[in-house]
Amino acid sequence: MNKMAFDTSLMRQFTIQPGIDVWYTRMDEYSPSSFDQFLSSDEKAKAMKIRDAVKSRFAIISRGILRVLLGRYLSISPVDVSIETREKGKPMLSPGLLNRVAFNVSHSQGVLAIAISKNNPVGIDIEKKDLQTNPQQASRLVFSPEEKSYLEKRGNLLNDFFGIWTIKESILKATGDGFSYPSHEFSVISSNNSSILNCFSGPVTSEHKCEIHTFSLYRNYVGALAVIYP
């Protein structure tokens, strides 16, 4: 079976650093039928339970693309890629494949991004900058006092809000905690409140070093990737 059974020219890819790649694409350019053969019955059933037709379609496409990409990195058929959902909801490869690559997935407004790492746990988050977002109001719920103070001092509230938000979410996804760990209890702002950190450690990462990489996708899409080191 062809490991990459869809048109890869529709996908874009860049390397964060040796061993860590990010793939991204617009999901509305694919048909769910292209990936039907790769998905398990459970994956199909879960997608069919989603009442929103667009979200259901994107669920099939995103899981299909993930399987094809992982199959490529593992040199196996997409059908043989075994994905489990661990405690707190983080999808991971089954134990037999876990030590070979790590991955994480994010999507926003029809755009899909997948990070694949050959060495370290990763978390990725992308967001389309919604002009209707009220940064100050939203930050009250999810930002630390330092982050809220930083945001108030800056001129471009929308850009800074999404910059901080994607970094925080990428860290929580890399650790596997998700939002079971209160996002307002850690800060990604420097000690003097002058800049956003590109390297982080704290209780949320079990004091491990967490390296942050930020990027842009298409127009008005921003993203962050967190890499955790032992």
How confident is the model at residue 23, as a pLDDT? 97
Same-domain pairing of 69 and 109: yes
Model pLDDT, residue 171: 97
CA gap 34, 11 in Å, rounded: 15
pLDDT (average), residues 181-202? 91
Write down which residue in 119, 142, 159 finishes a domain.
119
CATH code of 215's domain: 3.90.470.20
**What's the pLDDT at 1?**
35
Q: Which of 87, 119, 151 is the last residue of a domain?
A: 119
For residue 12, what are the domain limits? 8-119
Query: What average pLDDT does the structure give for the chain?
Result: 90
Q: Which of 104, 119, 134 is the last residue of a domain?
A: 119
Task: Count up the domains in the chain and report the number.
Answer: 2
pLDDT at 3 over 70: no
Q: Between the CA of residue 98 and those of 22, 76, 185, what are the distances in Å?
A: 19, 14, 30
**Would residue 63 count as lying in a domain?**
yes
- 97 and 140 inside one domain: no
pLDDT, tens only, 111-152: 999 999 998 999 999 999 988 888 888 899 899 999 999 998
Under the banding of pLDDT at 50, 70 and 90, the label for residue 7 is low
Question: Do 20 and 115 belong to one domain?
Answer: yes
The confidence band for 8, taking pLDDT boundaries of 50, 70 and 90, is low
**Same domain for 66 and 164?**
no
